[in-house]
């Protein structure tokens, strides 16, 4: 779809949600929406970008949006699931993923978590030499069907956002490939542990150029080739290349695409496509962000220092990254009338503020928008990942409802509840336990 068509579809979804009172001035001041048709299209684009000649498990990064009904939707589209905690593992299992389609990554896996994963047969990527030793201790007394790999840090450098660059010289993730003696220790580990048959890397996400990501993956492939050559056998048979495709937060376009990403991989790491290795990917942000938006009512407007300010019900509790790192994670804002239709008119530089009780709770500063008034709706765009699905609980604000939406055979929108809105009683019950 063109950018105009995307915006028109979003407006139609919002007006339908208002008509059905899924967002309502009295009862539902804030809600999240996921376009399930868009999600299906994004998953298809990912799957089609990789050739059929290579066996690939596309594992959705659950951290991006771990709502169980949404995970189940992704499973139905042929995805696996990458998890980074015991909670995400439980959510993946609840969504119906079988253990062989789950990948467990975390730099701080406990012995109990490793025991559970190995007992189930979940794929495990060790993050350190100490974790490898812990896995070896467990496997010394029991067998496992798990595929086991080790995460390496190719140390190729950072992108423009340091917090989302995971292949720097001093990254907390993985075993640093360039540090003295680590390659030799890793080769020895593969020699001593025949069950160690995969290697994993993840260079970074937003702010990381595709060439940097591909260079890190190329170093990982070269490492796999080195291990197999030195051991005289193809012990490493699988390479988990992580995710990390950046998202365009400036427009309604989806760029770069997965096809562009694969072209970079072919240029930098052609051995990936010979069929000698199985592959796994771990995309999340790039599959979900542009397929979701958050809608919130404007409660009040005021002027301070000649600056108009709209006080809305969407702040850090649903957009923590944007509030705390606005330069790295800016969000587009769309202004709508109370009935959900797009608001047009002269643009006025306005602050879009959230409801939390600290001065920095701002979604946007001096953003040119049609003048907002109480009762209008603001839509926070590209929030399908890491926003309403990752709530920040300052001020004990309840989590908003989240709805999936798809087009039915008649061209109408059908909404499905992905997460119920928390009530004050829900919050009180949790806090009083």
CA 127/CA 202 separation, integer angstroms: 11
CATH code, 312:
2.40.37.10
Question: What per-residue confidence (pLDDT) applies to 3?
Answer: 78
Question: What per-residue confidence (pLDDT) applies to 101?
Answer: 98
Alpha helices in 165-249 (DSSP H): 182-192, 210-231
Instruction: Please give the backbone phi and psi of residue 273, each rounded to the nearest 5 degrees, phi first.
Output: -110, 15
CA 347/CA 366 separation, integer angstroms: 11
Nearest to 313 by CA among 359, 263, 375, 242: 375
Question: What per-residue confidence (pLDDT) applies to 379?
Answer: 98
Q: Do 240 and 300 have their domain in common?
A: no
CA 216/CA 205 separation, integer angstroms: 12
Which contiguous run of DSSP H or E holds residue 238? strand 238-240
Q: Do 121 and 256 have their domain in common?
A: yes
Q: Do 110 and 165 have their domain in common?
A: yes
Question: What per-residue confidence (pLDDT) applies to 432?
Answer: 58
Question: What per-residue confidence (pLDDT) applies to 433?
Answer: 57
Last residue of a domain, one of 286, 313, 339: 286
**How many other CB atoms are found less than 10 A from the CB of residue 133?**
11
Q: Do 14 and 43 have their domain in common?
A: no
**Helix/strand/coil for 233:** coil
Decide if 154 contacts 175 (C-beta within 8 A): no
Question: Which portions of the chain are predicted below pLDDT 50?
Answer: none
Specify the number of domains making up the chain. 2
Q: Do 174 and 308 have their domain in common?
A: no
CA 65/CA 288 separation, integer angstroms: 8
Rg (CA), the chain: 23
Torsion of Cα atoms, 113 then 393 then 173 then 225, to 10°: 70
> What percent of the residues of the chain are helix, what percent strand, and what percent coil, each to the nearest 5?
35, 25, 40
Nearest to 286 by CA among 215, 385, 210: 385
Give the pair of three-digit tokens for residue 250: 């400036």
Q: Do 253 and 298 have their domain in common?
A: no
CATH code, 282:
3.20.20.10
Where are the strands (E) in 30-174, listed by range?
Answer: 30-35, 56-61, 80-83, 102-105, 123-126, 148-153
Cis ω before 57 (30° cut-off from 0) = no
Q: Do 84 and 172 have their domain in common?
A: yes
**Helix/strand/coil for 379:** strand
Decide if 350 contacts 310 (C-beta within 8 A): yes
CA 257/CA 177 separation, integer angstroms: 29
CA 23/CA 25 separation, integer angstroms: 7
Q: Do 201 and 92 have their domain in common?
A: yes
Nearest to 417 by CA among 72, 42, 84, 89: 72
Altogether, the residues listed in the chain come to a count of 433
**Residues 160, 161, 166, 168, CA torsion sign:** positive
Tokens 């509790």 correspond to what residue?
A: 317
Where are the strands (E) in 276-394, listed by range?
Answer: 278-281, 292-304, 307-312, 333-336, 347-353, 362-370, 377-381
Please write the tens of the pLDDT for every residue from 193-207: 999 999 999 999 988
Q: Do 164 and 256 have their domain in common?
A: yes
What's the maximum distance between 2 C-alpha atoms anywhere in the chain? 73
Instruction: Please give the backbone phi and psi of residue 122, each rounded to the nearest 5 degrees, phi first.
Output: -75, 145
Q: Do 20 and 116 have their domain in common?
A: no
Domain hosting 340: range is 3-35+289-432
Residues facing residue 227 across a β-bridge:
none
**Helix/strand/coil for 126:** strand
CA 196/CA 190 separation, integer angstroms: 6
Last residue of a domain, one of 254, 286, 318: 286
Q: Do 366 and 227 have their domain in common?
A: no
Q: Do 62 and 26 have their domain in common?
A: no
Please write the tens of the pLDDT for every residue from 20-39: 999 999 989 999 999 999 99
Last residue of a domain, one of 286, 309, 332: 286
Alpha helices in 50-144 (DSSP H): 68-76, 86-94, 111-120, 129-139
Please write the tens of the pLDDT for every residue from 26-78: 989 999 999 999 999 999 999 999 999 999 999 999 999 999 999 999 999 99
Torsion of Cα atoms, 56 then 57 then 60 then 66, to 10°: 180
Decide if 80 contacts 97 (C-beta within 8 A): yes
Question: What per-residue confidence (pLDDT) applies to 426?
Answer: 87
Give the pair of three-digit tokens for residue 145: 């069907």
Question: What per-residue confidence (pLDDT) applies to 72?
Answer: 98
């Amino acid at each position: 779809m063109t950018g105009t068509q995307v915006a028109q579809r979003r407006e139609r979804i919002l007006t339908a949600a208002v008509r059905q009172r899924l967002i309502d001035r009295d009862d539902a001041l804030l809600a999240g929406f996921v376009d399930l048709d868009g999600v299906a299209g994004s998953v298809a684009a990912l799957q089609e970008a990789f050739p059929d000649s290579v066996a690939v498990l596309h594992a959705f990064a659950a951290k991006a949006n771990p709502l169980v009904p949404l995970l189940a939707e992704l499973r139905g589209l042929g995805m696996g699931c990458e998890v980074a905690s015991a909670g995400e593992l439980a959510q993946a299992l609840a969504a119906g993923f079988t253990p062989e389609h789950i990948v467990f990554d975390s730099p701080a896996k406990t012995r109990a978590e490793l025991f559970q994963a190995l007992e189930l047969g979940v794929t495990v990527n060790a993050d350190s030499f100490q974790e490898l030793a812990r896995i070896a201790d467990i496997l010394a007394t029991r067998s496992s069907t798990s595929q086991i790999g080790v995460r390496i840090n190719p140390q190729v450098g950072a992108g423009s956002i340091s917090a989302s660059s995971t292949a720097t010289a001093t990254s907390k993730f993985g075993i640093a490939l360039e540090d003295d003696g680590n390659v030799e220790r890793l080769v020895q580990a593969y020699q001593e542990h025949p069950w160690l048959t995969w290697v994993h890397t993840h260079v970074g996400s937003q702010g990381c150029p595709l060439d940097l990501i591909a260079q890190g993956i190329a170093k990982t492939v070269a490492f796999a080739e080195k291990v197999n050559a030195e051991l005289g056998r193809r012990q490493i048979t699988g390479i988990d290349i992580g995710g990390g495709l950046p998202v365009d937060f400036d427009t309604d376009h989806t760029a770069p695409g997965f096809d562009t990403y694969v072209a970079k991989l072919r240029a930098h790491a052609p051995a990936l496509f010979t069929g000698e290795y199985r592959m796994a990917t771990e995309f999340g942000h790039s599959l979900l962000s542009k397929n979701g938006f958050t809608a919130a009512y404007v409660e009040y407007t005021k002027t301070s220092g000649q600056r108009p300010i709209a006080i809305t019900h969407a702040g850090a509790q649903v957009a923590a990254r944007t509030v705390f790192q606005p330069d790295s994670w800016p969000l587009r804002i769309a202004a709508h009338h109370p009935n959900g239709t797009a608001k047009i008119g002269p643009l006025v530089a306005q602050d879009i503020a959230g409801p939390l009780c600290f001065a920095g709770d701002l979604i946007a500063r001096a953003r040119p928008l049609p003048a907002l008034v109480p009762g209008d709706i603001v839509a926070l765009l590209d929030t399908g990942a890491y926003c309403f699905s990752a709530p920040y609980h300052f001020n004990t604000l309840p989590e908003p409802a989240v709805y999936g939406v798809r087009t039915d055979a008649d061209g109408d929108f059908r909404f499905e509840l992905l997460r119920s809105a928390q009530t004050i009683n829900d919050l009180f019950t949790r806090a009083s336990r």
